[in-house]
Structure 1
Amino acid sequence: MELAHTAAVVTGGASGLGAATAAALAARGAAVYALDLAGAIDKAADVAGVTYVETDVTDPASVRNAITAATSGGAPLRTVVSCAGIGPSARILSKRGTHDLDLYAKVVQVNLIGTFNVMTLAAEAIVATDPDTDGQRGVVVNTASIAAYDGQVGQVAYASSKGGIVGLTLPAARDLAQYGIRVCAIAPGIVDTPMLATVSDDFRAGLAAGVPFPQRLAHPSEFADLVTMIIDHDYLNGEVIRMDGALRMPPR
């Protein structure tokens, strides 16, 4: 599917995986709308071709406003990439007591329900566009995690939310096939994002040492490269792709 002269929506687009993806799509000629919270947008770098839109992915009205902005420029909305997410750590039982139910619900609300909300409302807008010569209207790429398969101690909420992303990929692809919309997901391993900026060099080295090959953390640009590859590869649909250097996470 061609990216030039189309519109794209990237959630979590002000930093990390989302920022790298937004920049990569803009470099390919797409008009990119990077959706994120106000605090993140305030810290974002200006990137040619990227427009930042304050959005709460869990709020349907907020997402509808963002989708309206993305479709107002005249270019057909073709690409939706969901990178917005949170990953607090807590065990089911600990010295502090039981896992806070509100925290569990919040993680699922942002990571899973937020992704579903964006995909659904964006698909509604994509369907209103004319298909290309191959009958394609768009591509959705959601972000899972290897935690969906190898969730560690303290990741019960995060792993649950990302497991939901894995589970919705195939039925979503089947639901949207009749409209010419493909749906895939990427399950990254350990990526060198701002979330890791506060940890020590020794800790980062320990994380990298556990990756079979290449024995380093992944770069956000590699995630963005995989997004563009999925967009380019018209026969990829309903698939979750691990991007982890063959890493299988230990229990802790």
Structure 2
Amino acid sequence: MQLNDAAVLVTGAGSGLGAATAEALAAAGARVVAMDLNAEGLAALAARCDATPMAGDVASEADVATALEAAAGLGPLRLAVNCAGIAPGARVVGRGGAHDLALFERAIRVNLVGTFNVLRLAAQRMQALDPTAPDGERGVIVNTASIAAEDGQIGQCAYAASKAGVMGLTLPAARELAKSGIRVMTIAPGLFETPMLAGLPEAAQAAIRALPPFPARLGRPEEFARMVLAICANPLLNGTTLRLDSALRLPP
């Protein structure tokens, strides 16, 4: 997929993996629309790179449609990258009682419903584009799961379930959209330097930083962005989830 002058939507672009991805895509010549609920983060991103900020909720059909319309106004929509997500933590039964159902539903709404909402509306627009040579490709959709989808820890039921859902929709979506020349891929990051981690107590951060086998450090957001670029560049990457985790397997 050629990114130069192509329109791109990146969700969760106000910070972390999404912000790094938006910056990398803009540097590659793409015309980026950056979507997030974090208006301050979007403003900071727009000051660093050529990206159009769009405040919005990924689980809202109207908000996503508006962001895609803005992207389509910049050029042919060839790429959508789903980075928006939340990571609530709660036990199935904790000291305060059973897991709050609204918290579980919110994780599913943002992480899974939001991802599918962007996927379906972006694919609809991509189907109308002229295919590109040499393979007849029309577009690429990259989703973000987590290694927690496969080795979720205690207290991660909501988060792990939502990210497992993202992994589960990858292959059937890729199979269906293949006839239209649209690829669907998912990245499952391990532990990365993001605002989510920065919000934890220092002792918890130290324990987390000691987990990755090699490289024995946390991932950097720009390394996630490079994986997005690699997926765009390699047309054989389709319908699967790639772990980006330094061989890490999370303990219980």
Residue 107 of structure 1 corresponds to: 107
Residue 237 of structure 2 corresponds to: 236
Aligned 8 A contact 2:13 2:34 in 1: yes
Residue 182 of structure 1 corresponds to: 183
Aligned-pair distance for 1:195?
1.3
Aligned 8 A contact 1:41 1:54 in 2: no
Q: Which runs of 5+ in 1 are unaligned?
A: none
Aligned 8 A contact 2:26 2:51 in 1: yes
**Deviation per residue, 1:84-119 (Å, 9 max, x gap):** 000110111011000111110110000000000001
Aligned 8 A contact 2:20 2:222 in 1: yes
Q: Which runs of 5+ in 2 are unaligned?
A: none
Residue 72 of structure 2 corresponds to: 71
Structure 1's 35 and 135: CA in aligned 2 closer, same or farther, altered over 3 A? same
Matched, 1:95 2:98: no
Aligned 8 A contact 2:14 2:39 in 1: no
Deviates further, 152-161 or 125-134: 125-134
**Deviation per residue, 1:156-215 (Å, 9 max, x gap):** 000000000111100010011011000000000000001122335543332122111000
Please state whether the residue corresponding to 2:3 is helix, strand or coil.
coil
Aligned 8 A contact 2:34 2:42 in 1: no
Structure 1's 42 and 27: CA in aligned 2 closer, same or farther, altered over 3 A? closer
Aligned 8 A contact 1:15 1:44 in 2: no
Residue 156 of structure 1 corresponds to: 157
Paired residues for 1:196-211 under 5 Å: 196-211=197-212
**Aligned residue-pair number:** 250
Residue 119 of structure 2 corresponds to: 119
**Deviation per residue, 1:27-73 (Å, 9 max, x gap):** 00000001111445466332332111111111101111111111012
Please state whether the residue corresponding to 1:13 is helix, strand or coil.
coil
Query: Partner letter of residue 128 of structure 2?
Result: A
Please state whether the residue corresponding to 1:132 is helix, strand or coil.
coil
Paired residues for 1:24-35 under 5 Å: 24-35=24-35
Residue 129 of structure 1 corresponds to: 129
Residue 54 of structure 2 corresponds to: 53
Please tell me the root mean square deviation across aligned C-alpha atoms, in Å.
1.2
CA distance in 2, matches of 1:198, 1:157: 19
Residue 193 of structure 2 corresponds to: 192
CA distance in 2, matches of 1:125, 1:162: 25
Residue 12 of structure 2 corresponds to: 12
Query: Partner letter of residue 10 of structure 1?
Result: V
**Deviation per residue, 1:208-229 (Å, 9 max, x gap):** 2211100000000000000000
CA distance in 2, matches of 1:247, 1:151: 12
Residue 143 of structure 2 corresponds to: 142
| Length-normalised TM-score, structure 1 | 0.96
Please state whether the residue corresponding to 2:48 is helix, strand or coil.
coil
CA distance in 2, matches of 1:113, 1:199: 26
